[in-house]
Structure 1
Amino acid sequence: MKYHLFIEAERKVIKEAMLYPVGFFSMKKLLVLSLITLCVSLSAYAQSGGEMLKMAESNFEEGNYYDAIPLYEKYLQANRKDMQSWYHLAEALYASRNHSEAATAYGSLMKLINNDKELKNTYYLAYLHYGNSLMAVQQYEEAKKQYLDFLRLRPTEPNYRELKRIANAKIRACSEAQEMQKEAYVGDFKIEILPEPVNSPYSDFGLVWLDQSSLLYTSLPSDTLVMVQDDEDFAPVNQLYIAKKSNGSWQAPEPAYDFNHEFFHTANGSLSMDGKSFAFSICQENDAHEVRCAIYVSTKKHGQWSKPVKIKGGINKSAYTSTQPSFGEYTRRRMTSEVLYFVSDRPGGRGGLDIWYSAISRTGEWAEPVNCGSGINTSGNEVTPFYDKESGQLYFSSDYHYGMGGYDVFYAEGALKSWRRPENLGASINTGFDETYFSWRVSNANGTLVSNREADKSVFGKNCCDDIYFIEKQQVMELPAIVVNEDSVKLPEVNIALALHSYDNYDSIETSLLTGKEGDFKIRYKKDYSIEVAASKTGYDKSFKSLRTDDLPDTLMIVMRKAEEKEKIEHIDPTQPEQPLVLSDQVVKKAEIKKGSVLVLENIYFAFGDAEIQSEALKDLDVLERFLINNPKVKIEISGHTDSKGDDELNLKLSQDRANNIRDYLIEKGISSDRIVAVGYGETKPMAPNENPDGSDNEEGRRKNRRTEVVILED
């Protein structure tokens, strides 16, 4: 008799080669992980490589990815060049949403196939999925490279044309995500995972607030791995639970007995505006192992809920799924009608899962459902709608609208099938992983969302399962600011880097932006934070400001002075070849550059906490490139330095990343990699004090310490 472990992984294959095989669906399809594999049975691993591979392949073909993963990993330790096994391991990790390890596995596959055109076309989907995994872990530049490589392929499969369109959209999404990272003020929301017993090691999702302290949601609560025998007639099912908060603590959830089905999955509830109707999904798997859901409704009479019945009016359609209901309303000509938004894969949609609606008639009947239209729906998947009555906005998640990666939360204004362009909630809410089931408890103040971002609660891996997070909008103030020159003329398109540091802890927020045409910008901040502002523009000296939020002007004015020509070559002490020189064409032509000489890249500028090369740096890098081309025997060290702000280890990593990026830039320009060494020193080699004698910040000293140098290793 064989035992199995059931792991939740929301899977719904809408069409061949869908972007995310682990697409969000209303119920949790339970995948099988054998106890033999789970316990890393020595007898299994003692088998020959061929037997182990056969077992891994069998599990993979059956969709038992959690079974297959450890077997492939063990097999590949001794068979590093087995391309098919690397591909299947990567796909299994991808399907289980373990994107960091999937990216590593795809990388190993790419090393084996990148020089063979035929193999690249054979494994064409790997490039697309590799890009998706890299987006999930927010490696957007590398993700773009994989999408571009995908577009250069020429496979003969009929779905490639459609996937090319998706890849092009993903390239733009990567750029949009990078912009959102720069523009986001990540302190907009305070986000905390709800504690046990609300969140279990399995997925918890599909939530609705019954009142300010009662949460109804879907779960398979278990503190341990769930085992079931092969010959059991019924596997465990997800059900609805109610958790209540009392005296500041969440109590153990209780089953919602009025709605749950003993044998089928019950999920995704929604209360009507008057609280008298409750709609939810009941889902089951058919003989073809396809999940089908239908929406049921229960009504409250005399304080008691009626027996759930399948909702009428064409909302449920045979052979297709209808799920994730959300009650809303629509007012026209002073008449308010109840509306039910829901998700379905029925014909007539835009592709994948779409959001539909049905309005109730004057006779109390639900009308034939209508697609919400192209303003909301795409050829991807739009799921988990939530209608906010106070604002009249529809919140939903999409894996196609431009986002951070995976499913992002969006909102749109409008009604029924007429909606304005959806807005992404930005990097303060969304990550590269999946964010779904956004809902307000109190409109525009606090609520919840569901995410598989990294947490310690998952029963298998970091990202397999979903958790419920409480979100609270923070009070954010705005300080108007303006940049002018010495003559008080407003300066447009000045690069602004902002860093906000908490007074009480090590929390910090970094962002960057450009001033407008009138030199204006706004600093968004919270109380009890200090603000650091750095302004840079070609032709001007950099300007720095350090402020405390308890003592701010009505408007911050930053004055930038025109840069002066610095002919430091006349002041070089020939007995001190290590004395830093400011890199310029004049210096490299006139100075005697020897082994040990240090060149300061004065125009190299990085935003606070960022390693991305800014446009102002290109001037210095081009000078350095010309110097290396004209001196082909010279070898250099790129040295990255930071000031003392922040954690020592983070500063060391940041400086190394910055040095690596400069090295990569020069290599892409054709400089041989063996001529360049990149070293990050963090804050260990200051060239000026970071603080004044009285303990206050030495802004000028910190500016000098945040530098990049070139050290001549061989001349």
Structure 2
Amino acid sequence: MYKRVAIIISMIFSGCFALSGQELAHIRIDGINSSYDEHSPMLSPDGQTLFFTRVGHPANIGGVLDQGDIWYSQKTGDGWSQPVHAGADINHPGLNGVVGFSADGQRMYLLNFFDPEGRGISKLKNGISVSSLKDGVWAVPKKLPIQFFSNESAHISATISKDEKVIIMAIQSYETEGNEDLYISYKGDNGEWSQPKNMGNVLNTYAQEWAPFLSSDMKSLYFTSNGHGGSGGRDIFMSERKSDSSWMEWTTPQNLGEALNTVGAEQGLSFIGGDEVAYFSSTQNSEGFGDIFAYSMADGIPEAEEVEVTVPVVQAEEEKVVEEKSEEVGAEEKKEEEVIEKPKEEVKEEVVIPVEEPKKQILMVFEVLDNRTEALIDADVVLTYNGEERTIKTADIASPSKRFELTLEEGTDLKVSIELGGYLKYQKLFKAGQASSNAADGIERLLLTREEVGTTVEIENILFNRARASFANPEEATKQIDELIQLMKDNPGMAIRLEGHTDNRGDEKLLQELSEARVKTVRDYMLSKGIDGSRIDYVGYGGTKPLSDNKSPEGIEINRRVEFVIIK
């Protein structure tokens, strides 16, 4: 038996089913979309230029693994021109996107900020920046001073009010409901912006709220979420301010309906006040991962809809009604009882569809360096993860830093392999979310060792117990030595000499003996892992070969080290 069940979807599910008979109002924009990922469209105030973010294009500042650069297209008589890269002044190696504009179109607010004077990963600063239009050219952006800004996510998106006094951003920060939430920051009289404040659980969920957009009248907020229910993985919702006096009180978010939202992912809806056409991105029926579409707002915001499906129901027990014939027939001539099935009532039930909490996305940044000089090296880097293999040619990366990025789910295993003439074969395993021993300032440094006799490399972070040859931290020490073991396995013709060094405090003979005993401990561990003893010599120098003076704690620390030298 079957019964009709009306279901109001109250939880998220992706790929469970396609809505039968769904009529989409997506308007494809010819000329803009490509096989790359396009998202986050934003119109200039005059409506003549459409800016958007394009991911994976080789012309991006960070190359094919760049998180996305800003591109733009100009309005023509019959549509939009071919997109053009917006240039290096407003793009950087990280995630780029347009947040919004001043009312006169002279200022453009952007995601993140690149500081060429910064050190390491600090050159790329998470936050909001602003660029000014000078002689028709967008100037190098300046970072907005936002107090106590903190974002633990690789994602950031934002919108700015028409009066340029309020920014609403999607980040993962203090008092988060779970993942990325909507936060608000106010511009002070001194030009500084207040610490971002979580906008509360009417808007925010345990899942992800992204891509906010504030209408020009500053009354309606549009955003993408996978935590408020809907048609698929990510839907676009709208909420209204309850009063002009508060930015913290909002109505319950309303789904924009099946004409806009699909089982795919929709995000980044934006439009100009008074215009009847909005722009957004969707992964449904797209040429690449995501494409830019238009949507008519002429009919206003559609009401939330119920989705009807038919589900099988097991009837627990048949109810029987016995109808007897008239007594006039006589007791002897009674007919058999007729079993009549009672009509089934239509029942409405709420179906709870389980959902896995979205996994955190980890942004990994890499650079290839010479192990000895730490100079940048151009190499073909082979990345293997999730059963796929990709090759990154750092020579093709336009950025002077030659860094490349990769975003993976937390816990994903990544194998990095490099074969380059003049260097030993490099191979190393990484796990997204766990920094390796060679990481510095958030950057994973892929250190290549020259394939030449006499090359000396320090084995970092090998500490010993005071006046002893045993490891102070066996787990960390063996982790470092395992990398050398792998290097020797990858290069079977390689032979090394382990060299031990101490500071010069104490008896010279005892220090020499101690340093030799310590490198023997390292060698013994390597032998236990299968390296042939004929490939490993060892010597202890005590304190006779310092790299620094022993007059400061820092100098003493530098002099205590274990190195290996390639001898074959």
**TM-score with structure 2 length normalisation?**
0.45
TM-score (norm. length: structure 1):
0.36
Of structures 1 and 2, the larger Rg is shown by 2
Higher helix share: 1
Question: Which has the higher relative contact order, 1 or 2, with Cα contacts under 8 A spaced 6 or more apart?
Answer: 2
